Copies of this chain bind each other. A is one copy, B any other.
Amino acid sequence: MRLYSMPSSGNSYKVRLLLALLGRDCEIVDCEHGSVAKEDARATGALPFGKLPALHLNDGRRIAESNAILCFLGEGTRFWPADPVTRAQMLAWLFWEQYNHEPAIAVRAALRNYPHRAADATPARLADLLDRGHTHLQTMEDRLAAHDWLAGEAISLADLCLYAYTHSAGVLGGFEMARFPAINDWLARVAAQPGYKGLND
């Protein structure tokens, strides 16, 4: 297996985190934004949908979309709920992450930190993303105030998926994480998992 991965991206990190927790070997091709490697990967069609991450299997087949890769690698492991309803609730968090959480929380971090995004980082846009991001964090806080994990009562792909951009939402995104004590406790529970690796590990 070969993973085309953007080192600074939470979408890529969530896959590297799952691989680390599972103790699975995988060739990693670093494709940072603006790098020759990323342009080469895109030009040669290595990236379905033109996006990172992308997983290439040994038989040549390719899987796009970070959360689809999580499902492919995670099915049948301890991160995959056996109960069909819990599994669907886990998937609901994954879709919510892509539709609601990522476009506010990851995008605000990107606008503040990537030089090529600076032109879009207007005060009005940053303020709007701050409000939306806090709303989404409150949705997680409400769940985590009553449960240790997002779906069901055990860690699942939902927690790894949401961890990726939430754990850096304060430092990179400027969100007020002190308002969300249950999220902070949950972040510590994820980071305590055997085999855990940080974004830059």
Interface residues of A (CB under 8 A from B): 48-49, 57, 61, 63-69, 71-72, 75, 84-85, 87-89, 91-92, 94-96, 98-100, 102-103, 139
Contacts and interface: CB of A to CB of B under 8 A. Distances in A.
B65 A96 contact: yes
A75 B67 CA distance: 18
Contact of A139 (B49, B69, B92, B103): B49
B72 A95 contact: no
Contacts of A72: 84-85, 87-88, 91
20 contacts: A49-B92, A49-B100, A57-B85, A63-B88, A63-B89, A66-B95, A67-B91, A67-B95, A68-B88, A68-B91, A68-B92, A68-B95, A71-B87, A72-B85, A72-B88, A75-B84, A95-B95, A98-B98, A99-B103, A103-B103
A88 B55 CA distance: 11
Q: Is the interface of A mostly helix, strand, loop or mixed?
A: helix
A64 B71 CA distance: 18
Nearest to A63: B88
Contacts of A64: 89, 92, 96
Nearest to A139: B49
A57 B102 CA distance: 29
Given A98-B95, A98-B98, A99-B102, A68 B89 contact: yes
